[in-house]
Structures are given as C-alpha cells and as structure tokens.
C-alpha cells in the first residue's frame, strides 16, 4: 500500500485512500493552524477524476479477466473434444480392421445351407453392413460448442464399439454353427456307413474327429470314409456281376445238355411211323401202325395187308428184353 501511495504521488494522481481522507477533511473543515486551503472547486475535481480513473481501471481489469477465463475454458474444452475425436477414430479403425480381416471375409462367404442355424448368417450380414457415424470436428471457438462436439464424438465412439462387438459375435456364431453342421453331417455319415466300407478303420478315425470337433480332421476322415464306401460298392457290384455271369453260363449249359438228350432219345410220340417186321431171329417188329411178319398176332394171319390190321402202339405189350430198356420199338421176346 505504501508503494502504491508513493507511485500515485509520483504520477500526480491521488490514491483512493487519499481521496477518501480528503473527503473526510473537507466535511469537518480545516485543521487549526493549517495553512491557506485551495479552493473547494479544485478539490472536487481531483476527487471526481480519481474516482473515474479507479472505475475505469476496475472495469478494464474485469473485462480482461473474463476474457482470460473464457479463453482458458475454451482451451480445456478443445482438448477434451480432440481427445473424444481421437477415441472415435480409434474405434472406427478397429471396426474396419475387423471387417476386413481374413476370418471375417471368409465367414461372410458362408452359405446358409452350410450352417446348422441359418439365422446366424443373416445376423452377420447385418452386422457387416452398418453405417459408421461421421467423424466429429473440434472447430468451434466457444467452450460450450466444443463441449457439445466432444459429447457427440464420445457417443459416436460408443456406437462404433458396440458395432464392432456385434460383428465379432456374429462371426463367432457363424463359425460355431458351421462346425455344428459339419459335426452333425459327419455323425450321420458314420451311422449310415456301418458295414458299408471296405476299411473299417476309416470310420474309427471319423468318430475320433467328431468327438474332438476338429473341422480339419473331420474333413479328412469324411473323405476317407466316402472313398472306402465307394470301393466296397464297386467290389460288391463286380462280385454280383460275376455271379450273374456264372449263373447265366450254368443255365445255358444245362439247357444245351437238355437239348442234346432230347435229340438222342426221341419221345414216344415219334415212334408212330415205325413198323414191326420179322428179323433173322424170328422176332416181330411193328411198322406204321400195322403188323406184318411170318406169324399172326391177335387172331390175324400172316400175309394180311396193312390196311386191314391197324394196331395202336399203346396196346402192344412192353418188351422184357433187357437190352431195350422197356422201349416199344425193341424186338419182343
């Protein structure tokens, strides 16, 4: 305070304390023994001028302080906004990286028929087709506007992070559903090929892969089982064809043998044109349904014509000649 008073006196301008003291002195009058006073009018001018200067200084200081405060607040708000925008950019980059990864690209090509639950494919497509929010800019000059921009960037960042999580979950769901379908198909193949493979070890390997839920091992085992199944089917078909050929050959041989026997031993009906005649041994033969020879049969005499005596071959007695084996056209006796 002493320094201020000294500085004010050096500048020729009374301090506020001096102004207040002067006002009090004027109100009570001059002190006894004091020298002559300056005119009252000059003193009032001095007081008014000092007061005006003081007010101006206070106003200027307040304005400067307010502006400094606003500038500080804007600076803090801008830093917060820039930080929020940086988080948003990071979240967007993470989403795009996940979307463009080899795993996601491969899963996006999955057909609905190759998964156990087709809904997982639809969910994945929706998660991969979201529209990312626009990037926020921190180009405002006021703290309030910068705070609003920071809030917008923070909200966008949360949205993108949620989208990334949904995409990641959808990818995993499709992969799991695809494996479930692979395992189910492998189990069905295992059951359907019981006793139908050439090498049973292929089915054992398939069962082991299914239990482990190893997609690569299952694919390899399925291929081996199918090949073994095809090999058995081919072998069975060849065996059936061979058996059919053998059966056909046997049937043809039997038919040929039967035809040979029929040619060698004519039936009884073909003997109706044969005749009996007397031979050198005196035996009698049958000829053309008539009976001829040197002796008579059935009350007829020899020398009768064939037209007069017709004999049915079925009426003739069966020969007892052991060399003829019971044939009617053999010599009687």
pLDDT at residue number 69 = 58
Among the listed residues 222, 229, 105, 124, the one whose alpha carbon sits nearest the alpha carbon of residue 172: 124
* pLDDT for 101 beyond 90: yes
Query: What stretches of the chain show up as alpha helix (H) in DSSP?
Result: 2-11, 16-28, 40-99, 102-108, 119-127, 143-192, 201-212, 215-264
**pLDDT for the residue 86:** 96
- Per-residue pLDDT of 253-305, as tens digits, reads 999 888 888 887 655 544 444 444 444 444 444 444 444 444 444 444 444 44
Listed residue (176, 164, 161, 159) closest to 100, CA to CA: 164
Burial status of residue 221 (CB atoms within 10 A of its CB: 0-12, 13-18, 19 or more): buried
Over the stretch 13-28, which tens digit does the pLDDT of each residue have? 444 455 445 544 544 4
**Is the confidence at residue 320, as pLDDT, over 50?**
yes
Give the least confident one: 8-12, 90-94, 134-138, 194-198.
8-12
**Integer-rounded Cα radius of gyration of the chain:** 66
Work out the average pLDDT over 187-199.
Answer: 95
Distance CA 158, CA 151 (A): 11
87 pLDDT higher than 70: yes
Q: pLDDT class for 38, splitting at 50, 70, 90?
A: low
The more confident residue out of 190 and 74 is 190
pLDDT per residue as tens digits for the range 58-82: 555 565 665 665 677 888 989 999 9
* Pick from 16-20, 144-148, 212-216, 242-246: least confident: 16-20
- Prediction pTM value: 0.53
Q: Is the pLDDT of residue 32 over 70?
A: no
Q: Which residues have CB under 8 Å from 232's CB, separation 6+? A: 196, 197, 198
Strand, coil or helix: what is 310? strand
Q: Find out whether 188 and 224 touch, Cβ atoms under 8 Å.
A: no
* Contact predicate 120/170, CB 8 Å: yes
Mean pLDDT confidence for 30-38: 51
Counting Cβ atoms within 10 Å, is residue 280 exposed (0-12), middle (13-18) or buried (19+)? exposed
Q: In sequence order, what are the residues at sequence separation of 6 or more whose Cβ sits closer than 8 angstroms to the Cβ of residue 310?
A: 289, 290
φ, ψ for residue 181 (rounded to 5)? Answer: -65, -40
């Amino acid at each position: 305070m002493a320094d201020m008073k000294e500085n004010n006196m050096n500048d020729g301008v009374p301090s506020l304390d001096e102004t207040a003291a002067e006002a009090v002195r004027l109100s009570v009058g001059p002190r006894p023994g004091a020298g002559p006073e300056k005119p009252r009018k000059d003193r009032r001018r001095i007081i008014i001028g000092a007061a005006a200067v003081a007010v101006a200084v206070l106003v200027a200081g307040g304005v400067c302080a307010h502006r400094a405060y606003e500038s500080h607040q804007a600076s803090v708000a801008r830093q917060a906004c820039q930080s929020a925008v940086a988080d948003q950019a990071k979240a967007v980059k993470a989403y795009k990286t996940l979307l463009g990864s080899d795993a996601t690209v491969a899963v996006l090509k999955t057909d609905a028929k190759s998964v156990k639950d087709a809904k997982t494919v639809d969910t994945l497509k929706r998660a991969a087709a979201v529209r990312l929010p626009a990037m926020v800019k921190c180009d405002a000059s006021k703290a309030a506007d910068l705070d609003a921009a920071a809030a917008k960037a923070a909200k966008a960042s949360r949205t993108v992070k949620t989208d990334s999580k949904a995409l990641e979950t959808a990818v995993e769901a499709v992969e799991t559903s695809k494996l479930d379908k692979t395992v189910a198909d492998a189990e069905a193949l295992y059951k359907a090929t019981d006793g139908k493979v050439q090498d049973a070890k292929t089915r054992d390997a398939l069962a082991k892969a299914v239990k482990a839920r190893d997609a690569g091992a299952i694919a390899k085992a399925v291929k081996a089982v199918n090949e073994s199944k095809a090999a058995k089917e081919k072998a069975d078909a060849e065996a059936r064809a061979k058996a059919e050929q053998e059966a056909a050959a046997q049937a043809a041989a039997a038919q040929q043998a039967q035809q040979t026997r029929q040619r060698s031993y004519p039936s009884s009906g073909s003997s109706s044109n044969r005749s009996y005649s007397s031979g050198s041994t005196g035996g009698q033969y049958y000829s053309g349904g008539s009976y001829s020879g040197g002796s008579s049969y059935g009350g007829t005499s020899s020398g009768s014509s064939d037209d007069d005596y017709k004999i049915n071959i079925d009426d003739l007695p069966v020969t007892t000649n052991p060399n003829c084996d019971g044939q009617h056209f053999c010599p009687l006796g």
